[in-house]
Structure 1
Amino acid sequence: MTARLIAATWHSMRHPTRRGIALTIAAVPALSLAYTLALVPFTPRLGDIRKARVDRPALILSADGTVLAEFKPVNREWVTLSQISPHVVDALIATEDRRFYQHHGIDLRRIPSAALRTFAGARQGGSTITQQLARNLYPDEIGRAPTLTRKLKEAITALKIESVYSKDQILETYLNTVPFLYNAYGVEMAARTYFGKRAADLDVLESATLVGMLKANSTYNPVLNPERALERRNTVLAQMLKYGKLSPPEYARLNRQPLNVDFEPQAEPIGTAPHFAVQLRRWLTAWADRNGYNIYSDGLVVHTTIDSRLQAMATQAVAWQAGQLQWIASGTWNERTGCWPGNELFQSFIRQTAEYRTARDTGLSDQAAIRKLAQDAAFVDALCHSKTQIQAGFVAIDPRNGDIKAWVGSRDYRDEPFDHVQQARRQPGSTFKAFVYGAAFADGAQPGDTIVDRNVAIALKGNAVWRPTDPEPPTGRPMTLRNALAFSRNRVTAQLMQREGPTKVAALAREMGVRESPLDAVPSLALGTSPVTLKEMVSAYCTIANRGAYVEPRMVTRIEDRNGNMLAEFPAARPEQALPAAAALKLVDAMRDVVNRGTGSDIRTRFGIHADVAGKTGTTQDNTDSWFILIHPQLVAGAWVGFDDARVTLRNDYWGEGAHGALPMVGAFYDMALRARVVDAHAQLAPVSNPSHAGHARPRHHFLFWRF
């Protein structure tokens, strides 16, 4: 049967009839039409096209109504057609689509001539501006391959666009969405990038230059390829002459002019809380995907918990103290001390570089490669600078509801986008001791209970022994838990850890807020040997301030549409009692003494903070990490200071301590917040059970040398 059918088909092809020929000719357009119609469902829907033109990025607001950020997909500022120079429109239409106002998305007259030129070897695109817009808006749906299917999808989408938009709207959308290199999208950003002016102020030559780039951005880049860009610009001017947009004298004068590019890449505005905004964008994108919204086009208005005043204070405090510490670090790490080839650590830095690997690939030995690179002063300076930049993180949270009020992830987001609040995991040092004492107080211990201050040897697995030490020799006398916490005594804390058990302490830390970082339940955990994030630690200290109740941190309170209609509301999380309230009150009372007379006393004596506060300093081995967290009934703030490479330290026991590295950031922040009355200076953490150390009286010394 199959053989007979094949034979019959072959016979008909060898001996066609008139009727067969007619049917075949008629079938070609019918099949083409059927194929085209079959592609319609695979092109963007009209609703998608209506939404695509609307550039309404999500607006991110602080709790007090200031704009923190706008979530744009690219570095673009949308402008109306009336805000674009008419020279741009004239150049675009004359060059790309001279019959733009006569066709309905597809220029049927242009297609045959474009095909003939292509077959003749001079390839010419037949795409209209509307077809190009379709391709720019929907690259995934339409594709880029030079196939018939792609051209048909492009044509179908162009017809849909023309049915939705007016010609002026199409031009406006096209000119606001085309890319121009250097992260400049749209004609407004291109005008600023290449000519240092607004799109409305572009002259004929500048307009022709930008329109000329549309054919091939890289090829006609006026910065890197000025000769080609000039040639292409003059081609555009010739088209404008041809179609009556320029007079012959104008053309003769203009095509002899230089490019006159005024190049300056346009950095995206980072806002006042950039690291917070990065975290929020991830959260908001997930929320929008679940609920059918687009963060770039639906005009969402997101109300966050950030207080713009506190954010500014935190940024100022971090910049001030980090600048002071950088001066010390730069004096410690320079070509005469740290950053020189004889330093083994600096040699290891060199070995991590691409330049070192390249030198080794040429056949140089390890030492020869190091000697060669060490002779390059620019290389040494750049490497030293990158490794010895002080970094910091700062976050402040309202313990009553978990609202994040300030978030500074690094000294400068442009130089260091890595977030030291949420991303960085560092050893918390003695700030972790709060969980050891919290566990003890939960088990009935009192701040006045004593443990002998003596040398301790704690057996570990594998016959290892842990011997915690303190800067001061052991006294051999009983020391109260209050004093051990106030003066951060490691030997007493280690003994308390033995009594409570690492597993119990680790579990309590997780309940109180350290919920993402893994904790190694070993005795040394008491001194903060398991890396955690600053956000986790401050969140856990909020639990202390909130009488033992953990409240999950919150970034957003509500989301509205652009008309103010409520789309979603996010109430504060339900409190979870992680630490008994009585134990939390004991812990607060003992931690008051840290700032009243212990390692954090600079809060009182240097910064003159008289409010009811408590806190804890933290310093890791070799002064690698410096921590300080301060709690207030309405605000808990913490700071971390260090280097991204943990092998780099300040090499100074004084400045490397939490009391002198991180504490000044927190102290300066609270001083500003209290003076501005953003937080209540009279709020009480809890009843004071040790009045002699209350710390509310004015301290004898009040130095304001932290001032800017």
Structure 2
Amino acid sequence: MKRYVSSVRDHCSTWFARLKSAAAASAARLQPLAAALCVTLKPLVAAAWQRLRHPTRRGVLIAMAALPALFVLYVLVLIPFTPGIGDIRKARVDRPAQILSADGKLLAEFKPSNREWVPLAQISPHMIDALIATEDHRFYEHHGIDWRRTAGAALHTFSGDRQGGSTITQQLARNLYPDEVGRAPTLTRKLKEAITALKIEAVYSKPQILETYLNTVPFLYNAYGIEMASRTYFDRSADQLDILQAATLTGMLKGNSYYNPVINPERALQRRNTVLAQMVKYGKLSEADYARLKGKPLRVDFERQTEPPGPAPHFAQQLRKWLIAWADRNDYNIYSDGLIVRTTIDSRLQSMATAALTQHGNQLQSIANGAWSGRSGCSAGNDLFRTFIRETPDYRAARDAGQPDADAIAHLASDHGFMRALCKSKTDVQAGFLAIDPRNGQIKAWVGSRDFANEPFDHVQQARRQPGSTFKPFVYGAAFAQGAKPADTFIDQPVEIPLAGGEVWQPTDDVSPSGKPVTLRDALAYSRNRITAQLMMQVGPDRVARLARAMGVRDSRLDAVPSLALGTSPVTLKEMVSAYGTIANDGSYLEPRMITRIEDSSGDVLAEFAPASPERALPVAADRTLLDTMRDVVNRGTGSSIRSRFGIRADVAGKTGTTQDNTDGWFILMSPQLVAGAWVGFDDGRVTLGSDYWGQGARSALPIVGDFFQRALRSRLVDPRARFTTDVEPGAFEMFREKLRAWIDVLFASHEHKPQTPAAPVRRAPPARPAPAPVPAPVPSAPSAASAPETPAFEAAPPARPLGVPPIIGPASAPQGESPFPSQEPALAPTPTPDAPEPMPATGDDGAQQGAAPMQDH
């Protein structure tokens, strides 16, 4: 080792010595060259300096000619950095993209701002006279730049009295191209503005310039253009403006905020009279009329103008992002090219979804208001609400000012306006709804919140919440893919699953362990957490997470831990409905679609979007088994009010979900033609409805979906006769086994006359990987007498409905004899009114995070 280090050191020393020698040699060779260069340049520099000190007439003339030449050269360099002629021609064509539903209804128009374009003939002549007299009285004489006014403004600016010299055309250039031209007080910006103004004058006529200017100028409060300004400040159209109103709006152009007639009426009045004086100066108003008008008040009739959100605002919001990217790639402008975008939304289903979510959301809001009223709710006496107060900027400001914690909270608690606003922001019930056609992935209805104007946040695509028991079908689907059957059983007993770090996860239900075997069909129908946890450990969290991703949960992170079985990884509603669409589509995933095609303003097709290629996520046999098992959720399980309350007799399947402390309520329902799901909760996960009854997914989210499906079926937008195909083709082994069993039955037919009451067979779940020691093993196929229950209520019950046999879709009663929990069946009572949900069967809990308290599911 020492010899190696010594060799490296010697090598480096030799290399540095050679480098130093080469550098010295180079310096020696360059020294004569540098000396010669200095000798050559010295007289030239001296001569140039002498000319500068003693300039000749010729030199002065050359210098004077060089400055304009350099200026012209600079202007020529700037021309490519200003808007092109083609862009300027498009600028005054207000043809926003139109978003149409699948049935041809207008959903939205993508405008660059909140404005309504009106032709010059529909603008009051008083407005045009006031504008020209005040902003550009030589408008009809120049070609974009008023050189006299520009020179005068420059002289005043140099003398310290800064003035503007922009013409109406130059102001239009700034309004149309705020990014390319800008507003910085620099020479470069002014040159860009002048170049763009000359281009505008070359393309537009004078009336077109006036019309474009008056339709694009901003007037505060999200009002763009003279039409929106007239409605905002005077509650009338632009053609109805009188001379005082026109002068007031013209006066705002000098400074919208400074001369705002709502906030600064005195300044606005003075500025209005200045505009009237300018009209007198240039012959647009007589002296007598000016004397009569200048003393009149403003008489502002202010009302904000909001752009109508349209029937599907959250859908349009997501679509706008996609369309902008598509237009950029294909060289189109969504604001001026008149694109026609045909979407997958059905306006009728969208209207039904909005009505259902609004109606039931308002009912839940009334419950929330009652739960959060009084001292136990939105008051400083509530520990949670005190936490909310401490999280506000007002509290932090009070603390920064030196107030103690108690004084700051007391001061804010006495501010009724502050407390009302904080309470509303925290206790507003929110919801999301999505419906997808599982046959092609088309999105048919999308409602992102109860009110887009108050809550533009999208709870379909943007919000990630724990899905609770709606995640369980992925566990059962993975088990069925491994060969498990709906009749396989696990013992309903306490479960302890060791976790990393020495913790133990103990999933629970809201009923005590019965110690009896429970089939997978019943466990999913009644959402049993203990059974699902045992099945999860047999299948494996990794396999379940992979299946969920393959089926549609592709954007959210899934933690492959045991509690994933009960939905502890946050996901979006769009992902969950998409995954249930995979279940309804024989196990093939289809990416959700928003658009079918894009056309130009003439109707010519620019792009068509076919359905995505299906991706196999779950074997057909396993998927049909899962779908048939999920029928029992609505036939007799936690979602049975779909039948009893909403009277839906179609072939449907679904799943409820409720997270810890009733924070999130979920329900997703599948039919062969439509899959719809809803989420209900609060933006702050610490807030709940304060009710174990109303907080359950079966009572918060299910009514939204049930109401929607009821409307869709009645209107025949969904065919009530459509049926799922759940017949499973038997394999070769199953066929051989059935033939063998039939042969044995024939052989021993002579013994069938003996009276027997055999117990229903209890099948062993197929082996997968060994479960951890604390997890109970599946029940043997033939239980011993010691393990058999004394009361044969479960074993003597008729076997579960065979796979592939259509469900009994009749009266609202649950099938007798199918449930191992007879005391938990819904009471047979007259169908309640839509406003009063009937009692539901007791159900299990959704385990929350690892080692945490359980989450309930109903």
Q: TM-score range by the shorter chain?
A: over 0.9
Deviations, residues 451-477 of structure 1 (Å, cap 9, x unaligned): 111111111111111111111111111
Match of 1:697 in 2: 810
Q: Does 1:179 align with 2:218?
A: yes
For 1:268, the equivalent position in structure 2 comes to 307
Q: Report if aligned partners of 2:634, 2:643 keep a CA contact under 8 Å in 1.
A: yes
Aligned partner letter, 2:292: R
* CA deviations over 1:660-689 (Å, ceiling 9, x no partner): 110000000000111111111111112474
State the match for 2:282 in structure 1: 243
Map 1:275-674 to 2 at 5 A: 275-674=314-713
The Cα of 1:692 is off from its aligned counterpart by 8.2
Structure 1 residues 132-141 or 513-522, which shifts more? 132-141
Q: Deviation per CA, 1:374-413: give whole Å up to 9, x if none.
A: 2223322222221111111110000011111111111111
Per the alignment, do residues 223 and 2 of structure 1 end up closer, same or farther by CA in structure 2, a change over 3 Å counting? farther
Residue aligned with 1:646, SS: coil
CA contact (8 A) 1:607 1:703 kept: no
Deviation at 1:152, TM superposition (A): 2.0
Distance 2:536 2:562 in 1: 7
Give, in whole Å, the separation in 2 of the partners of 1:402 and 1:664.
Answer: 24
Question: Shift of the alpha carbon at 1:189?
Answer: 1.0
Which residue of the partner structure matches residue 124 of structure 2? 85
Q: Deviation string for 1:289-335 (max 9, x for gaps)?
A: 11111211211111111111111111111111111111111111112
What amino acid is the match of 1:221? N
- What is the deviation of 1:510? 0.4
CA distance in structure 1 between the partners assigned to 2:621 and 2:804 by the alignment: 18
CA contact (8 A) 1:593 1:693 kept: no
**AA at the equivalent of 1:696:** I
Instruction: Give the counterpart of 1:137 among 176, 187, 204.
Output: 176
Look up the SS of the partner of 2:365 in the other structure. helix
Alignment-derived partner of residue 13 in structure 2 = none
Q: How far apart in 2 are the matches of 1:81 and 1:629?
A: 53
TM-score w.r.t. structure 1 length? 0.97
Find the residue that maps to 1:617 and give its secondary structure: strand
Q: Which moved more, 1:43-52 or 1:174-183?
A: 43-52
Residue type of the alignment partner of 2:142: H
2:272 counterpart letter in structure 1: R
Deviations 1:505-535 (A, max 9, x none): 1100000000011111111111111111111
For the residue of structure 1 that corresponds to 2:180, the secondary structure is helix
Give, in whole Å, the separation in 2 of the partners of 1:596 and 1:122: 83
User: Which residue is 1:193 aligned to?
Assistant: 232
For 1:440 and 1:563, how far apart are their aligned partners in 2?
54
The verdict on how the C-alpha distance between 1:131 and 1:691 changes in structure 2, with shifts beyond 3 A counting, is closer
- Secondary structure of residue in 2 paired with 1:140: coil
Tell me the CA shift for residue 200 of structure 1: 1.3
Determine the C-alpha separation between the residues in 2 that align with 1:42 and 1:691: 69
Letter of the 2:49 partner, please give it. W
SS at match of 1:373: helix
Provide the C-alpha distance between the structure 2 equivalents of 1:365 and 1:614, rounded to a whole number of angstroms: 57
Corresponding residue pairs, total: 708
Matched AA of 2:477: G
Partner SS state of residue 23, structure 1? helix
SS in 2 for 1:109: helix
CA distance change for structure 1 residues 217 and 436 in 2, over 3 Å: closer, same or farther?
same
* Counterpart-to-counterpart distance in 2, 1:122 and 1:41: 33
Tell me, what secondary structure is at the counterpart of 1:346?
A: helix
Q: Deviations for 1:173-229, whole angstroms, at most 9, x for unmatched residues?
A: 111111111111111111111111111111111111111111111111111111111
Query: Does the CA contact (< 8 Å) of 1:329 and 1:650 recur in 2?
Result: yes
Deviation at 1:555, TM superposition (A): 0.6
Task: For residue 536 of structure 1, give the secondary structure of its aligned residue in structure 2.
Answer: helix
Within the alignment, does 1:37 sit opposite 2:76 as a pair? yes
Match of 1:160 among 194, 199, 208: 199
CA distance in 2, matches of 1:626, 1:339: 23
Alpha carbons of 1:29 and 1:707: their partners in 2 closer, same or farther (altered >3 Å)?
Answer: farther
In 1, Cα distance between the equivalents of 2:234 and 2:690?
A: 48
Question: 1:336 and 1:692 mapped to 2: Cα distance?
Answer: 55
Cα distance in 2, alignment partners of residues 380 and 29 from structure 1? 66
Tell which deviates more after alignment, 61-70 or 102-111. 102-111
Matched, 1:113 2:113: no
Structure 2 unpaired stretches of 5+: 1-39, 728-801, 814-829, 838-858
Question: Are 2:627 and 2:726, in contact at CA under 8 Å, matched by a contact in 1?
Answer: no
How far off its partner does 1:239 sit?
1.0
8 Å CA contact 1:373–1:380 kept in 2: the answer is yes
Residue 850 (structure 2) aligns with: none
What is the CA–CA distance in structure 1 between the aligned matches of 2:685 and 2:57, rounded to whole Å? 87
- Aligned Cα root-mean-square deviation (Å): 1.7
Shift in Å at residue 69 of structure 1? Answer: 0.9
Give the number of the structure whose alpha-carbon radius of gyration is greater.
2
Distance (whole Å) between structure 2 residues aligned to residue 360 and residue 24 of structure 1: 66
CA contact (8 A) 1:559 1:566 kept: yes
Question: Residue 511 of structure 2 aligns to which amino acid in structure 1?
Answer: E
Contact 2:625 2:803 (C-alpha < 8 Å) held by counterparts: no
Query: 2:319 & 2:82 partners in 1: Cα distance?
Result: 32
Residue range with higher mean Cα deviation, 331-340 or 650-659: 331-340
How far apart in 2 are the matches of 1:15 and 1:575?
86
The one-letter amino acid of 1:259's match is L
Deviations 1:85-135 (A, max 9, x none): 111111111111111112111123333333333344443222111111112
TM-score for the superposition, normalised by structure 2? 0.80
CA contact (8 A) 2:495 2:506 kept: yes
> 1: distance between equivalents of 2:470 and 2:62?
87
Q: Counterpart amino acid of 2:340?
A: V
Counterpart AA for 2:318: Q
Deviation at 1:265, TM superposition (A): 1.3
